[in-house]
Amino acid sequence: MTDKILTDLEIGHATTLRPIEEIAAAAGIAAEHLETYGRYIAKVAPTAQVALSDQPRAKYIVITAVTPTPLGEGKTTTSIGLAQGLALLGHRSMLSLRQPSLGPTFGIKGGAAGAGYSQVVPMEAVNLHLTGDFHAVTAAHNLLTAMVDNHLHHGNELDIDVRTIAWRRVLDVNDRALRNIVVGLGERMDGLPRQAGFDITAASEVMVILSLSTSLKDLRERLGHIVVGYTYAGRPVTAEDLKAAGAMAVMMRDAIKPNLLQTLERTPALIHAGPFGNIATGNSSVVADLLGIRTSDYLLTEAGFGADMGAERFFNVKCRASGLTPDAAVLVVTVRALKTHSGRYQVVAGRALPPEMLEENPEDVRIGGANLRRHIEIVRRFGVSPVVAINAFPTDFESEHEAIRQIAADAGVRVAVTQHVADGGKGALALAALVVEAAQELNSFQYLYDLDLPLVDKIEKIAREIYGADGIDLSPAVKKQLARFEVLGYGEFPVVIAKTHLSLSSDPTLKGAPTGWRMPVREVRAAVGAGYVYAICGEMRTMPGLPKHPAAERIDLDRDGNVVGLS
């Protein structure tokens, strides 16, 4: 008889956790700075950052990845396993991770608190709205939308051109039926009829503002700068103009405080903010990093999707906001990802891998290795030393791991196999040792572009130097809008490219490291409160739909009131 394989939830429930006050104390955070939510979760007040300001600065490590499959390649689990591995080596480690969205948790992806023996716990709390930060973002965002519609209903004194309103509503549930709607139907007192829609809460600019703000004061100022639309004369209309920003800040007053939890091996973890990885920054909060950098020897933070997306935005946007610069980067790779980039296989979320993909085939790994090489180049472009982490799966073969080791060796970078899902911190010891080595090296961190570079040149620089494009194609309307943004004072903003995460290019079907293509920019928008301009390249859904059999069908309570079925 074989031993039963425990689920992530069962592993979490079998672990004895420490009171959160003990976890905080080990990180140097006094109990007076904690606002507890039960025994194992606490918000950390801004006073903690002030109290710790004279403590030494930790080594700052960003965890990124190759271009992922729709299944994800395990950046979160690797981050957690690495933190546990560093602790076993005698180093104080702190995690700074994004909070999962309820949409994917109830949809096809499931939760994002880690896996196996590398989890942040209680995992059900992490995955099921934690301390309510997402709800605060949802409420603040929708309050502004309501005040826009209310202003229109009561005469539109600001002379807003309804056709320019881009501030939709948000909801932290996958619901395709809400992507495009008409509001204001019914009697005259029911509002002004207009086309509108919903995005998922993670796509809200309020969420990005939460992640990039350095303080409550900064948050309040950024909320006031949000542009909801333009007047008929072309003047931006802001949340401050609508007198909504103050009430929004009140609703976000507690959400600005990072959430402190622990891993299965009792290393501390700050879980805070969760901006969408495709159209936003895809990084956890600046305030969590500013706190964590004074509470440990190593602060580990994750950047969403691959190095071309989350890490590029981490370097160019988040590091500018925080003033922090990384000491090393971990580049997560899997055998299945590189096999996918060979172009021979199709991986679909929610479905089993093709059987032939599970056969031993190091040649496919070598062919797909072009993607890994490009991501190594991306990290190095910013002057940061990468460490390749091979996230091992039971279906891998040693010859396939050896193929990845050779790719890394040829590129002159450190590489380790990590088995943290099965073995926790012990499985990540080799990786942890290499990260310590890399972090001691002097690096020459540099941004990709100067902020005074014109917006179009920033977009083209990312397309060419990060994605490998031959150039960009702008429609006359996009050129006109970029010129207008320069006039409005947005020209010195950093830029974010909204594109697919499934390819280095803007076409999700192009695998590996595609060349000979040009990036089409079909629209540009300004997230003025967040402080960046984003270029939309390709089709993306900002409100996901549910699959035929969503994860929500399997989640329930047992007779004792415990959560079951969460993965």
Residues 350-380: pLDDT tens digits? 888 999 999 999 999 999 999 999 999 999 9
Q: Supply 449's token pair.
A: 């572009």
Instruction: Report the pLDDT value the prediction gives residue 442, as an integer from 0 to 100.
Output: 87
Q: Which residues have CB under 8 Å from 449's CB, separation 6+?
A: 316, 457, 458, 461, 462, 494
What are φ and ψ of residue 524, in 5° steps? -130, 145
Instruction: Report the pLDDT value the prediction gives residue 349, as an integer from 0 to 100.
Output: 85
Q: Supply 402's token pair.
A: 């050896």
Domains and CATH numbers, the chain: 31-130+256-440 (3.40.50.300), 133-251 (3.30.1510.10), 455-536 (3.10.410.10)
Instruction: Report the pLDDT value the prediction gives residue 3, as an integer from 0 to 100.
Output: 63
Rounded (10°) angle between helices 476-488 and 455-465 = 120
Residue of 227 and 539 predicted with greater confidence = 227
Instruction: Report the pLDDT value the prediction gives residue 2, as an integer from 0 to 100.
Output: 47
Residues 228-264: pLDDT tens digits? 999 999 999 999 999 999 999 999 999 999 999 999 9
Instruction: Report the pLDDT value the prediction gives residue 398, as an integer from 0 to 100.
Output: 98
CB 353 within 8 A of CB 346: no
Q: Which of 189, 115, 96 is nearest to 150 (CA)?
A: 189
pLDDT at position 5 over 90: no
**In angstroms, rounded to a whole number, what is the distance separating the alpha carbons of residues 269 and 80?**
9
Residues 54-95: pLDDT tens digits? 999 999 999 999 999 999 999 999 999 999 999 999 999 999
Q: Which amino acid is at 76?
A: T
pLDDT tier at 1, thresholds 50, 70, 90: very low
CA-based torsion, 100, 330, 325, 526: positive or negative: negative
Q: Which of 344, 206, 336, 346 is nearest to 280 (CA)?
A: 206
If one counts every other C-beta atom within 10 angstroms of the C-beta of residue 503, the result is 23
pLDDT at position 532 over 80: yes
